[in-house]
Amino acid sequence: MTVSRTCILWLQLLLFSAGNPAIASSPENDHKAKKLYKEGLALKQSGQLNAASACFTAAIREDEGLTGAHLELALVYRLQQQTESAKQQFLVLLRKEPFHKVALQNVAELYYEQQAFEDALTYAQQAQEAGAGRMERMIGLCYYHLDHADNAIRHLTKALDEEPANPAVPYKLAQVLALQERYEESIGYYHASLRIDSTQANLFYELGMIHYNMAQFKHAAGAFEKANALGRPADADYYYNLGNACLRQSETEEGIRHLKSALTLRPKDIRTMLSLANAYYKKQDYTNALTQWNGILVMQPMNAFAMFMLGKSYIGAGQLAKGQQICDQALALGDVK
């Protein structure tokens, strides 16, 4: 993008005056700085960010105390996704105005983007003290990443009042509560987020996992299917979890079908093979159960549980002697639970 001719000329003049102590700041310089600042604002408004940056830089060189130019230059860097340059420019401004709430808020956000959560928390708290609004979510998120769950919950709860229309606030609160195994409370906040935005596929999937952990398998299966309908990929994990939720509701055929899909997408997955083998065994489909138990033992020859269940499947299939011999071998290996 072409930098305006005016800004280029001012930069050239300023480079000259920087090496010439006879040229000092004056009311004329202040006027020039404000003119460059206004031109920079117009260029920024029109999307000419490189040109705007040049004008703000020239304005600062004319008048180092022009805080508006420092702020706008930093904001331009943010728009250009120059994270470190933006942060450093905001810090320059804060050395001039330590309680500049916009600068403090932006520095907090930039440190957060860089995953420097302790620094992000410090500046977020300072921004809040300086009068910046809606900082509770940022503070809560920092505490979450710093593994201070109680503080995270406290500040995210306050953020619900600050940002009542933001579905991300109850969503994050639900996740933090789930990690604390406070599942009933967590479910309430998942639903609160969905009342704001009912199209969140990943949220439905996580909600399904919470229901599953609470042995609410019908709700779990429904949430998994809703997630898929909203665009969550039907990958191996999806079919594995949905299949097991169906099996826990005694929907055996559905469960087996989903587990077979999971195994197709991720062949030789031990946990899927175990679930499928157990499902076949409970259904008394011993032929398919034998196939799965044998497959597991090919990969894990010393798996005492799989060996024991292989023996039981042979017994169920009518091969009593062979089955009993395999069961005895499994018991000799150790724990078969």
Give the integer Cα–Cα distance in Å for 90 and 229: 44
Residues ≥6 apart with Cβ < 8 Å to 118: 142, 146
Do 56 and 135 share a structural domain? no
Give the integer Cα–Cα distance in Å for 76 and 44: 8
Establish if 213 belongs to a structural domain. no
Question: What tokens were used for 310?
Answer: 């292989």
Q: Write down the pLDDT at residue 25.
A: 53
Are 7 and 54 in contact, with CB atoms under 8 Å apart? Answer: yes
Establish if 77 belongs to a structural domain. yes
Establish if 132 belongs to a structural domain. yes
Establish if 177 belongs to a structural domain. yes
Q: How many domains does the chain have?
A: 2
Three-class SS of residue 146? coil
Question: What tokens were used for 51?
Answer: 């040109």
Do 116 and 51 share a structural domain? no
Q: Write down the pLDDT at residue 15.
A: 44
Provide the CB-side half-sphere exposure for 323 (13 A, CA).
Answer: 15
Q: Write down the pLDDT at residue 282.
A: 96
Q: Write down the pLDDT at residue 334.
A: 80
Range(s) of the domain holding residue 190: 107-198
Are 210 and 190 in contact, with CB atoms under 8 Å apart? Answer: yes
Single pTM value for the model:
0.81
Q: Write down the pLDDT at residue 31.
A: 85
Residues ≥6 apart with Cβ < 8 Å to 90: 71, 74, 103, 106, 107, 110
Structural domain ending residue among the three candidates 36, 63, 97: 97
Do 76 and 135 share a structural domain? no
Establish if 305 belongs to a structural domain. no
Establish if 252 belongs to a structural domain. no
Question: What tokens were used for 289?
Answer: 């159960």
Where is 202: in which H helix or E strand?
Answer: helix 201-213
Q: Write down the pLDDT at residue 13.
A: 44
Establish if 167 belongs to a structural domain. yes
Where is 315: in which H helix or E strand?
Answer: helix 304-316
Please report, for the domain that includes residue 120, its CATH number. Answer: 1.25.40.10
Q: Write down the pLDDT at residue 12.
A: 47
Query: Which among 165, 162, 216, 211 is positioned nearest to 187, based on CA atoms?
Result: 211
Do 163 and 71 share a structural domain? no
Establish if 286 belongs to a structural domain. no
pLDDT tens sequence for the chain (337 residues): 444 555 544 444 444 444 443 334 556 777 899 999 999 999 999 999 999 999 999 999 999 999 999 999 999 999 999 999 999 999 999 999 999 999 999 999 999 999 999 999 999 999 999 999 999 999 999 999 999 999 999 999 999 999 999 999 999 999 999 999 999 999 999 999 999 999 999 999 999 999 999 999 999 999 999 999 999 999 999 999 999 999 999 999 999 999 999 999 999 999 999 999 999 999 999 999 999 999 999 999 999 999 999 999 999 999 999 999 999 999 998 887 7
Do 9 and 83 share a structural domain? yes
Three-class SS of residue 197? coil
